[in-house]
């Protein structure tokens, strides 16, 4: 069985975008989160089973890794970012895997690209120019990224400027104090205002879960963010001491499932920070499939926030084709 056949069995081709209603949000209702109480031990036990009892090999693994690439927000968020960095990033986003490897797998015509390119606001125009003529959207971090310690009017202005510059997706950061103080109405109002400022641009709400002390608060913040109109909920900025974990992901994913049952809206999920190995990407994909189904194996409902991950995936794909591991520097990093 070929990689192409297996990739089709996993889900639709990478360039496909599933159609579903965009989340319009619902009125604030505190009763929807009052009963939430997460059993951390149970969550950790369930999360631990993903890597232990789920494994794919050979062409099956290659197909899953190609799927991971299509769900990747290829990201550069460093203080030394330049126009050249962004142009290189966009070039890699358009051609994330070497052509000889794709040909060997029979995937040269599959149209595989990354899900998006994510940059700081001042670099949006360079990314938009570099990606012109493709279907790859530009995502921008906004609202005082990464700490979010600016006023709400400043946050809204940042969003408006990023949308005007051409960003199709906006990754916002919440004010953590609202979660820490359990001021859920303030969190709802903030996220709702940001969603309005985004207009047609899709909004990913970063919870910065590494700075939230309990899984119960993570679950409540997830639900509030969705109630306020988030298109995606995202774990981390990548700048916290602790970023995405399978346990936190399980809590957020099940909040997405609860919101779907309540409203009928499908909300996307984005783990970010610390996902640098191909095997880790597979664990997150398996978790999405088991908990939410194949619809969440598409880039309109699942993204990795990643920078170094692509290099390791390409290295694993070369091993599949040649039977040999190459040095990481042989694979151009974005």
- Tell me which residues are annotated as active site: 171, 234, 270
- Dist. CA 290–CA 284, nearest whole Å: 10
Alpha-helical runs (H) found in 264-306: 278-292
Q: Do the Cβ atoms of 191 and 174 come closer than 8 Å?
A: yes
In what helix (H) or strand (E) does residue 90 lie, and over which residues does it extend?
helix 83-94
Show Cβ contacts of residue 132 under 8 Å, excluding neighbours closer than 6 positions: none
In what helix (H) or strand (E) does residue 256 lie, and over which residues does it extend?
helix 246-263
Burial of 15 (0-12, 13-18, 19+ CB in 10 A): middle
Q: Which residues pair with 172 in a beta bridge?
A: 205
Structure tokens at 116: 């998006």
Give the strand order in the sheet containing 304-306: 268-270, 232-234, 202-206, 169-173, 138-141, 116-119, 72-75, 304-306
Alpha-helical runs (H) found in 166-214: 176-180, 184-198
Of 278, 281, 227, nearest to 249 (Cα)? Answer: 281
Q: What sign results for the dihedral spanned by CA atoms 254, 258, 264, 265?
A: negative
């Amino acid at each position: 069985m070929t990689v192409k056949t297996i990739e089709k069995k996993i889900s639709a081709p990478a360039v496909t975008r599933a159609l579903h209603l965009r989340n319009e949000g619902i009125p604030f209702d505190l009763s929807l989160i009052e009963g939430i109480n997460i059993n951390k031990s149970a969550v950790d036990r369930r999360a631990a089973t993903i890597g232990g009892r789920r494994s794919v090999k050979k062409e099956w693994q290659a197909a899953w890794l190609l799927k991971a690439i299509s769900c990747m927000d290829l990201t550069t968020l460093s203080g030394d970012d330049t126009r050249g960095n962004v142009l290189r990033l966009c070039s890699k986003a358009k051609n994330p895997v070497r052509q000889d490897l794709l040909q060997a797998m029979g995937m040269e015509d599959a149209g595989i690209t990354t899900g998006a390119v994510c940059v700081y606001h001042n670099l949006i125009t360079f990314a938009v120019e570099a990606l012109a003529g493709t279907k790859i959207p530009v995502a921008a971090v906004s609202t005082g990224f990464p700490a979010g310690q600016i006023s709400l009017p400043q946050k809204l202005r940042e969003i408006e400027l990023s949308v005007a510059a051409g960003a199709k997706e906006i990754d916002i950061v919440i004010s953590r104090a609202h979660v820490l103080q359990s001021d859920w109405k303030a969190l709802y109002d903030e996220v709702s205002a940001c969603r309005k400022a985004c207009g047609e641009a899709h909004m990913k709400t970063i919870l910065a879960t590494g700075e939230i002390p309990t899984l119960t608060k993570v679950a409540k913040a997830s639900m509030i963010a969705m109630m306020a109109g988030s298109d995606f909920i995202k774990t981390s900025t990548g700048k916290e001491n602790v970023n995405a974990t399978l346990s936190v992901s399980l809590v957020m994913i099940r909040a997405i499932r609860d919101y779907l049952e309540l409203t009928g809206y499908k909300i996307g999920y984005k783990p970010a920070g610390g996902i640098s190995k191909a095997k880790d990407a597979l664990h997150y994909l398996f978790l999405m499939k088991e908990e939410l189904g194949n619809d969440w194996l598409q880039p309109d409902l699942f993204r990795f926030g990643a920078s170094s991950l692509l290099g390791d995936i390409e290295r694993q794909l070369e091993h599949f084709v040649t039977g040999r591991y190459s040095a990481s520097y042989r694979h151009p990093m974005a």
